[in-house]
Amino acid sequence: MSRSRIFVSRPRLPGPGVELLASRYQVVQWHDDTAPGPDDLRELVRGCDGALLLGNDRVDAALLDAAGGGLKAIALASAGFDAVDQDAARARSVVVTHTPGVLAESTADIALSLMLMARRRLGAAVDSLRRGGWRSFQMDGYLGLDVHGATLGLVGYGQIAQAVARRAAGFGMSVQHHARTRPGDAYSRAVGLEELLRTSDIVSLHVPLTPETTGLIGARELALMKPTATLVNTARGAVVDEAALLTALRTGALHSAGLDVMNDEPRSDPADPLFTEPNLVVLPHVGSATERTRAAMVEHAARNLLAVLGGDPALTPLPGTPATY
């Protein structure tokens, strides 16, 4: 039995994935609920044949060099991979994998939840109730805007966005999307980005974080949207200019917004402007946070490692990267 070493970057992960690895390899796990810093990662990955990391663990040249020449594969328990220096991994022949598709349906549920919470002002209503603010029934109290029958614009049209489009059909929504390579289908029609922003009642973001999508929704794009519109982001925080979003909400240029992602995650200051804006609902990156989905992500990442270390192609290597070591 091989006793090659695999580093796992969190002390507890759902499902049987870590047990699968431990049945064949020596597993070294991070010991603290606080995420390991770059120095910790570099130290603990040293001498390992593989690593199971989360999507926000930075994979760069320094980490890969610290691991040494024996590192064959890094498996992310994440669909996103913007924290990976792909050029550095390719130069060192390290296979990097991710978990696309595994979390699409659960994340689509959260996108729809944010539409409902933000547009119907449910977050503000719950806050008011908890503060004792509901003293009488008023016909003009807690008024929001309808989600059923609204026009939904999806920026990006991958697996998550397509799952959102299917759900939107049940709400009688008219769906349109903007994507470079995705034509229309039975659930959505393809339009240009500016048309989508101008005509949608709800804009939901579903693009990966790349140099082209960083700051994709800024002051100019928000100004194109209806003052009655809602912005939802379950993609990556840096796709949206947070300062511009807050300004649009505070000035009434935008009705509401719902975020599952932010810049500089995690954030915990109760006085953070994102947490105090009444027309903004913010969640702590829980798009994939169901027991079944998170367990499936970890198990899929583990099976990617088992495949590569066993001499087989990875199940889901990063797009455009080698599948074998």
The pLDDT tens digits of the residues spanning 43-59 come to: 999 999 999 999 999 99
Summarize pLDDT for 249-280 with one digit per residue, the tens: 999 999 999 999 999 999 999 999 999 999 99
Mean pLDDT calculated for residue range 135-151:
96
Cβ neighbours for 55, distance < 8 A, ≥ 6 positions apart: 76, 77, 78, 79, 80, 81, 82, 83, 98
Distances in whole angstroms, Cα of residue 107 to Cα of each of 166, 176, 272? 13, 19, 25
| Per-residue pLDDT, 217 | 98
Cβ neighbours for 96, distance < 8 A, ≥ 6 positions apart: 59, 73, 74, 75, 76, 81, 84, 86, 89, 317, 318, 321
236 is catalytic: yes
pLDDT at 1 over 50: no
195 is catalytic: no
Which two three-digit tokens encode residue 143?
Answer: 């008024």
- Spatial CA neighbour of 187 closest among 152, 162, 206, 205: 162
The one catalytic residue in 98, 236, 300, 303 is 236
31 is catalytic: no
Average pLDDT, the chain: 96
Tokens 């593989």, located at residue: 50
Beta bridge partners of 92: none
pLDDT at 209 over 90: yes
Beta bridge partners of 100: none
The one catalytic residue in 178, 285, 300, 303 is 285
**CB atoms < 10 A from the CB of 275, how many?**
13
Cβ neighbours for 183, distance < 8 A, ≥ 6 positions apart: 190
Residue % of the chain over a pLDDT of 70: 99
CA 196 to chain centre: 22
The one catalytic residue in 43, 220, 265, 292 is 265
Query: Helices in 219-281 by DSSP H: which ranges?
Result: 219-224, 242-250, 273-276
